């Protein structure tokens, strides 16, 4: 449904030119009516406990912290603040379950539980989507159409492997590692939980998971699903609390495997925390992906891919295409098209189904984005932002485009983790490869060209764990994901993701 301001004049269909009479960069002369998803699909508790041994319990000492809605700055719920004593309790509960219940089940029985979890996630998908958008600030169309369905499909996919480990690793015996400590970030809270928990359980491990402090609620709703699915107590444990709790978990002597997704800085500390032990480790860290557009690319599709690459999830995506490398001969037309497209992006209420860019996850993240954008202006790059209204409350940031960017600028080197695109140009494929690889990161990249042979050549020369061709930000549970260099090591997804949770022995 659309509403039109009284002053707008829309040409009659028969006389309307294809462009609707709009000049370049002009906005469409009507507004979408608000279409908010119902918040009452979610029943928020006033207070959430830790999930240890199949039960919700208060933190030792009873401390809590508050999770807020970043789009309104209003509190959502009080959440238990775990202590190191709670870390110990959770690891002991996980160990017990690994020895006595979950670890004793056949692959076929484990698969039934994982299928059940996947089904319940689908049945309760609207509740999860609304809660995820309220707690993280991401648009409901993304939590509804991407995060929750992908989370459910990860459980479905790994359920399929649980009784087929002999086929995944022919000639070897795959044994679970034991207790996995898993630490996840705030940008895809439920999806990162699924990436971590599903392969771990499929392989027979038990887990203690720590969600990010700004987005603990979907993990706690997931704990309710574990109860609903009748998962043996202690198989999944959820500890909410600050970063130090994450480190206490990483360094706990009875943990066998550590999996972390988050910043490179904390990834380094975790690496140090497990050094000198025999714990298995996977790290999925930051990125500064190049999205490369050649002069033979279909420009309109490329524009959609660029927009999806950097403005999806407010740009708070480790694999975001934050550096646009465009071939010099098409730079101007492409930038003009991008600016036109930016004018149609809707920033606002994450629960409005028409919203494209929601709220930034936290005040500190908003401050970081603001500071880096200011550095871009100070260092001489040219800033473009569409003239869109931002809500009066909440942490919002306009979609931003920088041209005239030099490789030395901070906005071209540092992970911004916000809706900010830096445009650089190149003349030859060699120059594109050199610029794309000129980063300490190596998580993802994109290539836009009409030539299949060029795609294959570029892919083989790019130091990036994932390279998308004529698309961007596509995810699938069957496909491995992970980085090179400071983007981390180890893979999640696919059979590679399963490998990270097993010890292979000779038959
Ligand atoms: P962090 O890396 O600090 O947070 C990720 C997770 O690690 C959270 O659960 C966090 O807990 C936990 N954590 C924090 N400190 C420690 C520690 N010492 N030991 C163990 N676990 C810890 O990311 P930030 O939230 O601080 O974001 C900072 C920047 O990191 C962003 O601007 C972005 O550039 C990048 N980032 C990258 C992500 C990715 O997917 N690659 C995801 C998130 C951020 P808590 O929330 O309680 O602090």
Task: Give the other-Cβ count within 10 Å of 488's Cβ.
Answer: 27
| Catalytic site includes residue 318 | yes
The model's pLDDT over 295-341, given as tens digits with 9 standing for 90+, comes to 999 999 999 999 999 999 999 999 999 999 999 999 999 999 999 99
Which atom of ligand 1 has the smallest separation from the CA of 284?
A: 41
Which atom of ligand 1 has the smallest separation from the CA of 287?
A: 41
Whether ligand 1 lies within 6 angstroms of the CB of 318 is answered as: yes
Average pLDDT, the chain: 94
What is the pTM (predicted TM-score) of this model? 0.94
The predicted model gives 146-161 an average pLDDT of 98
The model's pLDDT over 409-462, given as tens digits with 9 standing for 90+, comes to 999 999 999 999 999 999 999 999 999 999 999 999 999 999 999 999 999 999
Give the DSSP H or E segment for 131.
helix 125-136
Question: Closest Cα to residue 296, out of 453, 450, 424?
Answer: 450
In the prediction, which pLDDT does 226 show? Answer: 98
| Catalytic site includes residue 226 | no
The pLDDT > 90 percentage for the chain reads: 93
Task: Give the other-Cβ count within 10 Å of 476's Cβ.
Answer: 13
Give the DSSP H or E segment for 182.
strand 179-183
User: How many angstroms separate the alpha carbon of residue 375 from the centre of ligand 1?
Assistant: 22
CA 414 to chain centre: 18
Number of H helices, E strands in the chain: 17, 22
The model's pLDDT over 92-137, given as tens digits with 9 standing for 90+, comes to 999 999 999 999 999 999 999 999 999 999 999 999 999 999 999 9
Whether ligand 1 lies within 6 angstroms of the CB of 185 is answered as: yes
Helices in 251-379 by DSSP H: which ranges?
Answer: 264-274, 299-311, 331-342, 363-378
In the prediction, which pLDDT does 2 show? Answer: 37
User: How many angstroms separate the alpha carbon of residue 211 from the centre of ligand 1?
Assistant: 10
User: How many angstroms separate the alpha carbon of residue 53 from the centre of ligand 1?
Assistant: 26
CB 425 within 8 A of CB 388: no
Options 284, 415, 486, 492, the catalytic residue: 284
Whether ligand 1 lies within 6 angstroms of the CB of 414 is answered as: no
User: How many angstroms separate the alpha carbon of residue 240 from the centre of ligand 1?
Assistant: 14
User: How many angstroms separate the alpha carbon of residue 286 from the centre of ligand 1?
Assistant: 10
Residue nearest to atom 28 of ligand 1 (CA): 263
CA distance 314 to 312: 5
Whether ligand 1 lies within 6 angstroms of the CB of 45 is answered as: no
Token couple for 427: 């003349």
Question: Closest Cα to residue 468, out of 294, 261, 304, 309?
Answer: 309
CB 437 within 8 A of CB 280: no
Phi, psi values for residue 403, rounded to 5°: -110, 175
The pLDDT > 70 percentage for the chain reads: 94
The model's pLDDT over 222-270, given as tens digits with 9 standing for 90+, comes to 999 999 999 999 999 999 999 999 999 999 999 999 999 999 999 999 9
Residue nearest to atom 16 of ligand 1 (CA): 243
In the prediction, which pLDDT does 71 show? Answer: 98
Q: Is the pLDDT reported for residue 368 higher than 70?
A: yes
């Amino acid at each position: 449904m659309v509403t039109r301001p009284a002053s707008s004049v829309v040409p009659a269909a028969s006389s309307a030119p294809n462009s609707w009479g709009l000049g370049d960069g002009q906005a469409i002369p009507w507004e979408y009516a608000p279409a908010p998803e119902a918040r009452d699909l979610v029943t928020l508790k006033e207070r959430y406990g830790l999930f240890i041994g199949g039960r919700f319990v208060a933190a030792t000492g009873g401390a809590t912290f508050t999770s807020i809605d970043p789009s309104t700055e209003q509190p959502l719920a009080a959440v238990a603040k775990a202590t190191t004593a709670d870390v110990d309790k959770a690891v002991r509960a996980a160990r017990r379950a690994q020895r006595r219940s979950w670890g004793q089940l056949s692959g076929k029985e484990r698969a039934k539980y994982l299928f059940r979890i996947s089904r319940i996630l689908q049945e309760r998908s609207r509740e999860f989507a609304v809660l995820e958008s309220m707690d993280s600030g991401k648009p409901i169309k993304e939590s509804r159409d991407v995060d929750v369905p992908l989370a459910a499909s990860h459980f479905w996919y790994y359920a399929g492997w649980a009784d087929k480990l002999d086929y995944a690793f022919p000639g070897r015996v795959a044994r679970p590692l034991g207790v996995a400590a898993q630490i996840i970030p705030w940008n895809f809270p439920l999806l990162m939980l699924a990436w971590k928990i599903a392969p771990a359980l499929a392989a027979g491990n038990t887990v203690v998971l720590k969600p990010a402090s700004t987005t603990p609620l979907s993990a706690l709703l997931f704990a309710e699903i574990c109860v609903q699915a009748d998962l043996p107590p202690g198989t999944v444990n959820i500890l909410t609390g600050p970063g130090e709790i994450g480190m206490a978990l990483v360094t706990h002597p009875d943990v066998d495997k550590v999996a972390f997704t988050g910043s490179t800085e904390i990834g380094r500390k975790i690496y140090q925390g497990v050094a000198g032990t025999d714990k298995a480790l996977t790290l999925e860290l930051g990125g500064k992906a190049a999205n490369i557009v050649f002069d033979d690319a279909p420009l309109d599709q490329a524009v959609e891919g660029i927009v999806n690459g950097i403005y999806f999830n407010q740009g708070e995506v480790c694999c975001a295409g934050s550096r646009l490398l465009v071939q010099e001969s098409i730079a101007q037309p492409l930038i003009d098209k991008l600016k036109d497209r930016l004018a149609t992006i809707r920033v606002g209420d994450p629960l409005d189904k028409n919203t494209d860019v929601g709220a930034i996850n936290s005040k500190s993240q908003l401050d970081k984005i603001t500071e880096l954008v200011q550095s871009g202006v100070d260092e001489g790059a040219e800033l473009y932002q569409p003239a869109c209204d931002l809500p009066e409350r909440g942490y919002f940031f306009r979609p931003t485009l920088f041209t005239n960017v030099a490789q030395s600028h901070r906005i071209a080197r540092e992970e911004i983790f916000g809706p900010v695109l830096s445009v650089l140009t190149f003349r030859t494929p060699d120059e594109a490869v050199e610029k794309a690889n000129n980063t300490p990161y190596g998580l993802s990249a994109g290539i836009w060209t009409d030539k299949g042979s060029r795609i294959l050549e570029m892919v083989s020369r790019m130091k990036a764990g994932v390279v998308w061709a004529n698309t961007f930000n596509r995810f699938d549970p069957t496909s491995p994901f992970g980085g090179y260099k400071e983007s981390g090591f180890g893979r999640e997804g696919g059979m590679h993701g399963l490998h990270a949770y097993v010890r292979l022995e000779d038959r």
